[in-house]
Chains A and B, each alone.
Chain A
């Protein structure tokens, strides 16, 4: 069964249609990279997956749990779907270590000792062992985003959602974040990544989706789509990104 299933899923804010009815399945282990011009509905689509946006029509199932279910169902989905935000959204009053320990303690109800063990291992994994007792304000953007990735992983999700994780970063800081994401992908994590990083899409993505004006216009293998762009609009888009 698919990890994520959009079934005629639609979303509108008032009269403004952000997502036209969409059918799409994302399988376990897939790294789906979603690209498209701003305002095309990429972020909204991503936020529908973990219920941060309520869908307006159709159904959307994550690991066979519907986002239309009870508040508890939605929380179960969120436990399974870690999210990384464009603006990091780290808790500014907690150190890197405490940020990562927060999920295990509060969401998974693990002991502080267990949480510390998980957090230490994850901060090591994202290359921040040296900085675990720093506050977010004492870290660079790239470091903050890596802490945010560790924080999301600490809840032991089955899939990860990335909402433009590198858009707020300097070009040289992007690479350290992309490297962590690449490692994650190579370990078989299911990932949905909204980004403008075409290089990442080509290197790491197993699937490339192009959205425009609330519709999923193209869906294919990244290498093929980038070498022979399937449509004029997509070709235009590539020229503007690169």
Chain B
């Protein structure tokens, strides 16, 4: 069996298009996950009962269920429950935002908790409102503490990008047609690395060029 380089080159435009999609989903998931993580993390650390409980519930629920189940829920169950249409890409992004948000929340809670209490008091004792203390005293220190774990969380998120590939398998037989097709670019690109046995790749690339 010889390796068909021509097929690889012919597939490059498709792959690049897929890469674009991958990056879009990854960056959107990352940005949204950070925003949601900060909100939930701050609520976990400083919130009153009214904000702590929902945040704890959210974090426990998301960290306690597989991401595959979550994406299935967003793509199949949510549209039926709320009578809306969700495109494959949106479903992937929503899932990544909600999922990484929960993990980020715990990282941020840990980082905020790790800032010595005395610094907060020193800020308050100057007559600053708590939000200023949080923003200008606690955050700069917590940020450095959170960075390594957040970096790892991003790698995790990147590894989850293949979850759009699961949908393709479904949609081929049962699914909402076009969305599945559209997604297969992004899904397959990453699936190639993570899910499919390596030897399948040339064959698939070959069939794409055929």
Binding site for B on A (CB under 8 A): 50, 52, 71, 75-79, 81-83, 85, 87, 89-93, 102-103, 106-107, 148, 151-152, 155
Q: Can you name 21 A-B residue pairings with CB atoms under 8 Å?
A: A50-B125, A75-B127, A75-B129, A77-B127, A78-B124, A78-B125, A79-B126, A79-B127, A83-B122, A83-B125, A85-B118, A85-B122, A89-B118, A89-B121, A91-B119, A91-B122, A102-B126, A102-B136, A106-B126, A151-B122, A152-B126
Interface size on B (CB < 8 Å)?
17
CA distance A106 to B129 in the complex (A): 10
CA distance A77 to B127 in the complex (A): 7
Binding site for A on B (CB under 8 A): 116, 118-119, 121-122, 124-129, 132, 136-137, 140-141, 144
Least Cβ–Cβ distance between B63 and chain A, in angstroms = 30
B129 to A71, Cβ gap below 8 A? yes
A106 to B119, Cβ gap below 8 A? no
Least Cβ–Cβ distance between B120 and chain A, in angstroms = 9
CA distance A80 to B200 in the complex (A): 73
Least Cβ–Cβ distance between A116 and chain B, in angstroms = 17
With a cutoff of 8 Å between Cβ atoms, the chain A residues found around residue B137 in the complex are: 91
With a cutoff of 8 Å between Cβ atoms, the chain B residues found around residue A87 in the complex are: 118
Q: Which of B121, B132, B144 contacts A106 (CB 8 A)?
A: B132
CA distance A79 to B132 in the complex (A): 14
CA distance A82 to B127 in the complex (A): 9
